[in-house]
Amino acid sequence: MRLWRADAWTFVWLRRLLVALGCTVGLLQLRLFVLSHFPPYLYMKDFIQEYLLARAVMSKVNPYLPLPVLVEKFIGPVTVPLMPHATPHPPPAILLGLPFAAFPYSWAAAIWGVLTLVCAGITVQLILIELTGKCPSVLSTIVVTLLWLGWQPFLYELIYGQFMILLGLLLILAWRFVRRGNHLLGGFFLGLVFALKLLAWPLILYFVFERQWRIVTVVLLTFFVANLGATLLTSYDTTWEYYGNLGSSVMPLYRSSPDNFSLWTISWRLFEGTGSPVRADLESPPVVFAPRVASWITYGALLSVLLATFKSVARVSNFDTVYGIFVGISIFMSPIAWIHYFSWLVFPISLLVLNLKALKFPLWETNMAVLGCTLLYLYPMLMKDVICALSGVEYVQGIRLQVSTAAGLLTYILPFSAMGMLALLYLVDRLGMKAR
Q: Report the C-alpha gap between 265 and 269 in whole angstroms.
A: 6
Contact 354, 131 (CB under 8 A): yes
SS3 239: helix
Q: Report which of residues 401 and 28 the model is more confident about.
A: 401
Give this prediction's pTM. 0.92
* pLDDT score at 225: 97
Q: Report which of residues 271 and 28 the model is more confident about.
A: 271
* pLDDT score at 3: 41
CA-to-CA dists, residue 185 to 181, 215, 219, 286, 348, angstroms: 9, 9, 10, 47, 21
- For residue range 405-436, list pLDDT tens digits in order: 999 889 889 999 999 999 999 999 999 887 76
* pLDDT score at 11: 57
Where along the chain do its domains lie? 19-202, 255-436
Q: In the chain, pLDDT over 70 holds for what percent of residues?
A: 96
Using CA atoms in the order 305, 420, 187, 209, what is the torsion angle rounded to 10 degrees?
40
- For residue range 139-166, list pLDDT tens digits in order: 888 888 888 888 889 888 988 888 899 9
pLDDT-derived band at 114, boundaries 50, 70, 90: very high
- For residue range 13-37, list pLDDT tens digits in order: 666 777 788 788 888 888 888 888 8
Q: What is the arithmetic mean of pLDDT over 127-142?
A: 85
